Amino acid sequence: MRLRTKYVLSTGGLMAAAVSGGLLIGYGWGAAPQGGVPVVVYLAAAVLLLLLLCTIVWIIAEIATGRIKLVLHATNRMLRLAKYLPIHIRGRDEFAELANLINELAGEWIRGLEARNQLVSDAAHELRTPVAILRGHLETMLKGATELKRENLVSLLDETKRMARLIQELQQLSLAESGRLNLERSWVDLSSMLGEVADIFMVEAEEKGISLNCGEPLDCEVYCDYSRIKQVLINLIGNAIQYTPERGTIDIRQSLREDGSIRIEIADTGSGIPSEKLPYIFHRFYRVDDSRSRSAGGTGLGLAIAKQFIVAHGGQLEVFSAEGKGTLFMMTLPAFPDV
Ligand code: ADP
């Protein structure tokens, strides 16, 4: 049953019952015994009054349900067109509140849809090139144009590894962006984690003659997801090594802040990032020097993932850079996060 019908039946029914009762009582007590007003006139007046009441109830029901119909119609339209078309309802009543809530939800929904579409198209774009390379090489090998040699196969295997990494990183990023990242928190000694990550890159740093300094260790722990935070440090320190030329320096500083949070700074004396490109640095697939990053095996997702992981922990990741001088990544993690 429609809301309006329910309205009319319930309110109208109650009013009709009350008025009829009143009229009958009035008739019984007053007019009839003194022989004043004839029954027919009395009944006609009662019917007219009832009709008038029904019309009034109908108009009230129309006005009351008209606003909700407006909300319904606008929501339906948004859903069909998958487009953000905010509902405008005047006033401050519950219908206006409902419309505002729907507007908020629709905004979130559309942003989610757009992000998903963008992610799919970015991923397709990134995968197109390696898949085409792989296919081209395999086809020429099958035709006998290139010899089926070990080194040819090794480069193809590298390409598949890069694709596998890209897919895995995309999966992590999409989980983090949609807020569905499952954090397995435990108390972690960040200083010893930093030592482990520095060890991973020590050989590469030595080969490039880069001095990698870990600074004074802190005597405190952070309640965080061990593997995610380690991944962030690997991405940041890995980038610092990659974008710092030979005989450069990478300084890692750790500090405990007054509000109980822990700050880790990774400063390199590398190529730096031009200021006009800095705002986009945490966007997925953004690379300052596209060909250089790709040829070094970069997926363009490392910083986007790092930022999302830190935000998921209630922390912050900031960047400061001067072109040709170096870059500083500043990561802040709350020691006692709201979980
Ligand atoms: P990639 O896999 O290409 O390294 P990232 O998301 O990790 O992707 O980094 C995005 C881009 O940011 C890189 O391509 C590089 O141009 C720039 N970048 C990241 N870290 C540094 C750094 N320490 N110094 C200079 N440029 C950097």
User: Of 285, 287, 289, 294, which is best to mutate to test ligand 1, by the most ligand atoms within 8 angstroms of its C-beta?
Assistant: 287
A 10 A CB-CB count for 321 gives: 21
Which of 43-57, 120-134, 207-221, 283-297 has the weakest average pLDDT?
A: 283-297
Confirm whether pTM is higher than 0.85: no
More reliable by pLDDT, 37 or 25: 25
The pLDDT score that the predictor gives to residue 37 is: 67
User: Of 170, 237, 239, 329, which is best to mutate to test ligand 1, by the most ligand atoms within 8 angstroms of its C-beta?
Assistant: 239
The pLDDT score that the predictor gives to residue 329 is: 98
The pLDDT score that the predictor gives to residue 105 is: 94
Average pLDDT, the chain: 87
The pLDDT score that the predictor gives to residue 35 is: 59
How many Å lie between the centroid of ligand 1 and the Cα of residue 108? 30
In terms of average pLDDT, the best of 62-66, 100-104, 135-139, 163-167 is 100-104
Give the tens place of pLDDT for each residue, 93-104.
888 899 999 999
Average pLDDT over residues 207-229: 93
Q: Give the distance between the most distant pair of CA atoms in the chain.
A: 122
Average pLDDT over residues 31-58: 76
How many Å lie between the centroid of ligand 1 and the Cα of residue 256? 27
More reliable by pLDDT, 301 or 90: 301
More reliable by pLDDT, 87 or 152: 87
Is any atom of ligand 1 closer than 6 Å to the C-beta of 305? no
Average pLDDT over residues 55-79: 87
Is any atom of ligand 1 closer than 6 Å to the C-beta of 293? yes
The pLDDT score that the predictor gives to residue 29 is: 62
Is any atom of ligand 1 closer than 6 Å to the C-beta of 235? yes
In terms of average pLDDT, the best of 119-128, 177-186, 214-223, 227-236 is 227-236
Separation between Cα atoms, residue 187 and residue 207, nearest integer Å: 34
For the CA of 240, the nearest atom of ligand 1: 23
Average pLDDT over residues 121-125: 86
Is the pLDDT at 118 greater than 70? The verdict is yes
User: Of 285, 293, 318, which is best to mutate to test ligand 1, by the most ligand atoms within 8 angstroms of its C-beta?
Assistant: 293
Is any atom of ligand 1 closer than 6 Å to the C-beta of 299? yes
Is any atom of ligand 1 closer than 6 Å to the C-beta of 126? no
Is the pLDDT at 33 greater than 80? The verdict is no
Is any atom of ligand 1 closer than 6 Å to the C-beta of 332? no
Give the tens place of pLDDT for each residue, 180-201.
889 999 999 999 999 999 999 9
- Nearest CA, atom 20, ligand 1: 239
Give the tens place of pLDDT for each residue, 248-273.
999 999 999 998 899 999 999 999 99
How many Å lie between the centroid of ligand 1 and the Cα of residue 294? 11
Average pLDDT over residues 41-57: 83
User: Of 241, 303, 309, which is best to mutate to test ligand 1, by the most ligand atoms within 8 angstroms of its C-beta?
Assistant: 303
pLDDT grade for 126, boundaries at 50, 70 and 90: confident
Distance of CA 296 to the CA centre of its chain: 30
Give the tens place of pLDDT for each residue, 138-155.
888 888 877 777 877 888
Is any atom of ligand 1 closer than 6 Å to the C-beta of 12? no
How many Å lie between the centroid of ligand 1 and the Cα of residue 143? 39
Is any atom of ligand 1 closer than 6 Å to the C-beta of 326? no
How many Å lie between the centroid of ligand 1 and the Cα of residue 306? 11
- Nearest CA, atom 7, ligand 1: 302
